[in-house]
Amino acid sequence: MSVQIRKTKDGKVRYLARIKLGGVHIGSKTFSRKGDAERWEREQLHRLQTGRQVAPKSNFTLAQLIKAFQDSRQRGNPHTIDTDNTNLAALPKSLVRRPLSSIHADDIREHLLNELRSGKAPSTVARARTTLSALFTYADDQYMLEQPHPVRSMRKIPQLSSVAQRSVSLSEIPTPEKLTSALDILRERRSDIADAFEFMALTGIRWGEARAARVSWMSETPLPQLNVERSHSDRYDEKDPKSWRGTRSIPLSPRAVEIFHAHAAGKRPGDYLFLNKQGGQLKVGVARKFPLGFRRHALRHFAASTWLRLGTPVHEVAEYLGDDPRTVLAVYAHVLGEGQRRDFAQRLAIAERASQNPGNTRATSGPAAPPATRELDQTGFGI
């Protein structure tokens, strides 16, 4: 190993670090500063001494890194692998063809910003960032990175903060009228799919949990409840539900009980609750043929926002959803804020009436009227 001084045609000084092992040339790299060349040389020596591979050649591309990364994860979680592969496939071809050594934080940040500009949800782009972080962490662990970690050193993107990516705007949550209309239209085509979607809107369960729902999940003592025990995403093995406390119980409205009993009739405890026309398990491909006019996951948001607007404590809503209370606060901040503003408006109205009718003591005494809440009919939707 050695560092040699070289001069370019225009007279500039460059420092060439060369690595040899047993008289065989392993690699070399040119630097504008001697200190950088010596540091690189020491790093290569450490790699050789610890049995690690030498830093990749200058023409080692991002595409080659992706291939090595994917090969190293073949025995990982299938769902995670598919998600990572989808995110990596979305990288621009012009970026993938470039040498790994030329990929920096600004390149990754620009890609993520473009994903946001294209209309992808912040949570989706945040997951893409997680994939890229894992990719470059793998490169770093394999001593392939010569530059700072492109994701860890990247300037923060406000839209991808933990609060911003989780927050759900009111426009994303269907109104009771919109949901009822969509279900009525769907029921004319496929009443079984409409029932499954309505049940999701009343219970807040995820699609995978609705697919996995069994007749045995229903308990009626001391009150009707749905005990969510498993989840089954399409194309993957069944697993425990995505809940921070595992199995959870959700109190059921009369309409939810009605739907459950209608689909449980004549079935054994271990049978699936919702089936397709052939008697098999529901598949997302079938569900996608019957769009509601909003995202299917919005059914879960509808349930949570309905519970919150009825005054259900945040920790109870979190328990029914299988989420951490802090997540519920972050996701449904707009819904909670809506209720607080409604309460404030009512207090203002009471105070105004009191000032206009000073002789009316009833207007100034006693507790404020509770927030106006929407009564529920047997469907569970507002009337």
- State both tokens at 147: 């530059």
**237 and 89 within one domain:** no
Specify the CATH number for the domain of residue 79: 1.10.150
**234 and 116 within one domain:** no
Which residues are CB-contacts of 327 (< 8 A; sequence separation ≥ 6)? Answer: 166, 318
**Residue position matching structure tokens 């959870």:** 248
**Measured in whole angstroms, how far is the alpha carbon of residue 332 from the centre of its chain?**
15
Q: Does 369 map to a domain?
A: no
pLDDT at 368: 46
Q: Does 205 map to a domain?
A: yes
Tell me the CB-side half-sphere exposure of residue 164, using CA atoms within 13 A: 12
Global model pTM greater than 0.85: no
pLDDT at 10: 85
Q: Does 363 map to a domain?
A: no
**186 and 78 within one domain:** no
Strand partners, 21: 24
Among 213, 233, 283, residue whose Cα is nearest residue 82: 233
Q: Is 336 helix (H, G, I), strand (E, B) or coil?
A: helix
> Which parts of the chain have pLDDT scores under 50?
363-379, 382-383
pLDDT at 380: 54
Q: Give me the DSSP letters along 152-200.
A: TTSPP-GGGSHHHHH---GGGSPPHHHHHHHHHHHHHH-HHHHHHHHHH
pLDDT at 66: 95
pLDDT at 358: 72
Q: Does 222 map to a domain?
A: yes
Q: Does 350 map to a domain?
A: no
- State both tokens at 288: 């996608």
Which residues are CB-contacts of 106 (< 8 A; sequence separation ≥ 6)? Answer: 154
Domain end: 124, 150, 166, which one?
166
Q: Does 356 map to a domain?
A: no
- What are the pLDDT digits (tens) for 133-190? 999 999 888 778 878 899 999 999 988 876 555 667 777 899 999 999 999 999 999 9
Domain end: 140, 166, 192, which one?
166
Q: Does 153 map to a domain?
A: yes
Q: Residue 91 carries which side chain, given as an amino acid letter?
A: L
Neighbouring CB atoms inside 10 A of 71's CB total: 8
**159 and 175 within one domain:** no
Q: How far apart are CA 370 and CA 377, in angstroms?
A: 20
Residue-range definition of the domain harbouring residue 256: 171-333
| Count of the separate structural domains present in the chain | 3
pLDDT at 11: 86
Specify the CATH number for the domain of residue 187: 1.10.443.10
